[in-house]
Structure 1
């Protein structure tokens, strides 16, 4: 190997003198983040004025839908309006986007119990809709209930696990006795519609949807931050993150088995098989942490503009995803290439240890993932991909030394702005020292 005497190694010490490390952003990529400041304590007069003005007040109306009409209702298409849309383009009047669905979907038994509730006329909670445009709706809460009803009327599953109507086991909708079928057809499901006039802007609409969605789900199984984002901030960037989460190399680096499904064995079965990484990976999959990791990579490119660092990571990602859904297509295409190239480079150069603090831990962590993916997109590092892969033992040696020297920094307990910048500097220093030795 040839030693580069013209370029001095970049050590941790002199890296810290460079201040904030920033990767070069793409045109139209920059996002304006809110300042993180102490909340102003409002006076009674200010609070009264805010209330009288109607600030943060939800406008709703109620409706009832016949169960017999649910299938046709969800299949109804309406023409998409807009100058940039080709004439004749249609979309569902009621959107049940797959990105919205939680990954641990209802089993046939749970769907059957819902049908049994309607047979017995047991009260069922209303579904909540958001009017995204005039007479066009997004289902905010109740997607599983509507999907179960739609599947039942479409004969997609047979009743099972019933408690009080066990004699109907194995029956589909079309094979129910006539009077039973007529009886369930007479039932209704209620809805509460969050009207479009609630919000004056897309940003306020997103905020109000987030408030309603979180309050609706506060009494049930706790949703992860990313599950909430998928329900509220759906759009092109969100769809890209969903797509990239299926990358096989990415899944391998995080221990998420390829092809994992919500029903891929019980926890006990996975533990008995000894495949703990599969169990952890399924947990990540179910809570959409894999999708959040993709979003973190893109958002972290602008971490130097968010003074709260990782202390308010959820707020950081919310804001970035909302704004990022309006990025132009060329930015999203660059994002895809950037992510896929970075993942392959790190796997080729560091193997399955890429996101671990090598020599200190054997498990991948976000505290390593963030800076190493960030620095992998440094222009100097990118220009040396092939050389670093060809001399992977040198890069590994430098990272082992960096993690050992700064073990506390990569322990996961340091999350403020200065800590994120320090980790960026340490990882950059390790890469530059490896480059200087090639």
Structure 2
């Protein structure tokens, strides 16, 4: 296309800023370390295999059930002299996926009958210090049983033991379960040369371990293998009350919610919804927080068509952000959510005038623009005249209905949505000055 035939921006449209112009100091994450693909010879492949490249190093162990409680309670010296658990479970994961008493009881019955139980999978984060990657529920159920935290119930073959705790079992039965073992496979620290490689290998192993059971959501896997300061911040911010209300997430979600239907009616989100409960169970609320931070770095290379890979790469880099930057992230998220709650309430992330159901395709640009330097100074005026902003957004969604529906998620679409939302805010800001 010649210069004279280039299409001019629509009237009132803002020129897009360079991708990094709005980023804070130290916030930029590099996505440019990919190596161009090239054809590899058989000789090179044989050499790499012989050298042990990308080879998992493991060992096996067996733990007597009677020692599980003591094992999980053991503490050792950590960094700075503070005590930490030798075997780390993930308390947030446990809270969201806690087994029912009936399921714990069935596990105990399996050991009573010597039914084979799958091994747990551990990762050696430091020498003789472990993270439980797979088998959290089994270990927690066993430790709870030996701590007398629940009574056996719903047993199929040993129903006469219903109502018994470990300490009240008949002596022979107690001796029988005490002599059982649970096996483990330990992914050793020698597996990876760098922290990034270790995280990638952990993710690969974790996904393959769970491929035969209930499919885990992307954030559930991310939470299990990319633990760190940014991940912890996202977990904490996902509990924001206004944020949960806008997505229909229960304010005090039950860890033992029943299964929900796949389809969700088009309903108001003043009250918890089935979709909101599912989001909590799959940790999608935590992923939404992460999306807000990561969305600031979207480029034509990593866009929403590759969102899972993009978020993986971002959280690996973001976990090394300085505490001062994470503090700014926290303030940024909380202020943006508070502002949108005041002006739009439970309909903030819906296509106003069209749907009552919140969507990510609205959430991403709305959070991005509401936090921009063009909007932040005018928040108070927009709150005072909230109806003006609502009208501008509703008109914008009506004009650009196709852009805010379906699965239009390439880089150009993300930038077009940012521009449309930005123009709606700019129009509302202008009217608040009149």
C-alpha distance in structure 1 between counterparts of 2:95 and 2:212, whole Å: 16
Counterpart in 2 of 1:197? 190
Moved more, 382-391 or 44-53: 44-53
Deviation track 1:273-331 (CA, whole Å, cap 9, x = no partner) reads: x9995211111110011111011001111113x52310000001111111111111111
Moved more, 126-135 or 327-336: 327-336
Counterpart in 1 of 2:174? 181
Counterpart in 2 of 1:76? 74
Say if 2:96 and 2:281, in contact at 8 Å, map to a contact too: yes
| Root-mean-square deviation (Å) | 2.2
Counterpart in 2 of 1:120? 113
For the residue of structure 2 that corresponds to 1:152, the secondary structure is helix
- Spell out the pairing of 1:4-403 with structure 2 (5 A cutoff): 13-15=11-13, 17-18=15-16, 24-34=22-32, 39-81=37-79, 85=80, 87=81, 89-101=82-94, 103-264=96-257, 267=260, 278-304=273-299, 307-403=301-397
User: Which ranges of structure 2 fall in alignment gaps of 5 or more residues?
Assistant: 1-8
User: Which ranges of structure 1 fall in alignment gaps of 5 or more residues?
Assistant: 1-10
Deviation track 1:223-255 (CA, whole Å, cap 9, x = no partner) reads: 000000010001111111111111110011001
C-alpha distance in structure 2 between counterparts of 1:233 and 1:33, whole Å: 17
Deviation track 1:76-124 (CA, whole Å, cap 9, x = no partner) reads: 001014xxx2x3x110000012134372321111111111111111111
Moved more, 390-399 or 30-39: 30-39
Q: Structure 2 vs 1, CA of residues 97 and 224 (structure 1 numbering), >3 Å: closer, same or farther?
A: same
**Residue 426 (structure 2) pairs with residue 432 (structure 1):** yes
C-alpha distance in structure 2 between counterparts of 1:23 and 1:350, whole Å: 28
C-alpha distance in structure 1 between counterparts of 2:167 and 2:16, whole Å: 71
Say if 2:268 and 2:356, in contact at 8 Å, map to a contact too: no
C-alpha distance in structure 2 between counterparts of 1:46 and 1:14, whole Å: 57
User: TM-score under structure 1 normalisation?
Assistant: 0.91
Q: Which residue, out of 415, 424, 432, partners 1:421? A: 415
C-alpha distance in structure 1 between counterparts of 2:401 and 2:84, whole Å: 52
Higher RCO (CA < 8 A, seq sep 6+): 1
User: TM-score under structure 2 normalisation?
Assistant: 0.92
1:50, distance to aligned residue in structure 2 (A): 2.5
Residues matched between the structures, number: 420
C-alpha distance in structure 2 between counterparts of 1:46 and 1:403, whole Å: 55
C-alpha distance in structure 2 between counterparts of 1:161 and 1:34, whole Å: 55
Counterpart in 1 of 2:4? none
C-alpha distance in structure 2 between counterparts of 1:422 and 1:53, whole Å: 49
Say if 1:12 and 1:425, in contact at 8 Å, map to a contact too: no
Say if 1:16 and 1:422, in contact at 8 Å, map to a contact too: no
Deviation track 1:125-167 (CA, whole Å, cap 9, x = no partner) reads: 1111000000000001111000000000000001111111111
Q: Structure 2 vs 1, CA of residues 427 and 22 (structure 1 numbering), >3 Å: closer, same or farther?
A: farther
C-alpha distance in structure 1 between counterparts of 2:110 and 2:126, whole Å: 33
C-alpha distance in structure 2 between counterparts of 1:139 and 1:69, whole Å: 16
C-alpha distance in structure 2 between counterparts of 1:15 and 1:249, whole Å: 31
Say if 2:268 and 2:357, in contact at 8 Å, map to a contact too: no
C-alpha distance in structure 2 between counterparts of 1:413 and 1:329, whole Å: 36
Moved more, 36-45 or 397-406: 36-45
Say if 1:398 and 1:431, in contact at 8 Å, map to a contact too: yes
